[in-house]
C-alpha cells in the first residue's frame, strides 16, 4: 500500500509556471505507475498526465500537452508536475494517483491509490 501527499499548489497569474509534487510513503515506489488528475465542480475529474512505472511514456491530456510535464524521482519517492503557461481554466484541485505495475491509463478507475489533492488557482 502507498500513501500520497501532494504539495505546491497556490494562487498564480495566467502565464506563470508552477510545479506540484506528490510524495509517496511505503515501499516499492518504483513499481507504481503514477498520474495526475484535476477536478472542478463543472468538469468533474479529468486526466492530466501519467508516467509509467518503467519511466516510459509519458501520457498527457489534450488540454495540457506542450504546457505540462510529468516526471518522477524514485530516489525521493516523488512525482512532479511542472506546469507552464498556466491558464485560468487550469484552476482545479490537482491529485496524484498510483497503480502498481499498471499500464498508463487516462481513467481514474484504473488507479488504486489517491492523494487528497492540492489546489491551484490561476487568476487573470
Higher pLDDT, 8 or 57: 8
Predicted pLDDT at 56:
81
pLDDT-derived band at 16, boundaries 50, 70, 90: very high
pLDDT at 115 over 80: yes
- Considering only 3-17, 32-46, 98-112, which range has the smallest mean pLDDT? 98-112
Query: Which H or E element spans position 60?
Result: strand 59-60
Burial 33-44 (b: 16+ CB within 10 A, else e): bbbbbbeeeeee
- What contacts 11, CB < 8 A, 6 or more positions away? 121, 122, 123
Mean confidence (pLDDT) of the chain: 95
Amino acid at each position: 500500500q502507498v500513501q500520497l501527499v501532494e504539495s505546491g499548489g497556490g494562487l498564480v497569474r495566467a502565464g506563470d509556471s508552477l510545479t506540484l509534487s506528490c510524495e509517496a510513503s511505503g515501499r516499492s515506489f518504483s513499481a507504481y505507475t503514477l498520474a495526475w488528475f484535476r477536478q472542478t465542480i463543472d468538469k468533474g475529474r479529468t486526466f492530466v498526465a501519467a508516467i509509467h512505472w518503467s519511466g516510459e511514456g509519458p501520457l498527457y491530456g489534450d488540454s495540457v500537452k506542450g504546457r505540462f510535464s510529468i516526471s518522477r524521482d524514485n530516489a525521493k519517492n516523488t512525482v512532479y508536475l511542472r506546469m507552464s503557461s498556466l491558464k485560468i481554466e487550469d484552476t482545479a484541485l490537482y491529485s496524484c494517483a498510483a497503480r502498481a505495475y499498471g499500464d498508463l491509463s487516462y481513467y481514474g478507475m484504473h488507479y488504486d491509490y489517491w492523494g487528497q489533492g492540492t489546489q491551484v488557482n490561476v487568476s487573470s
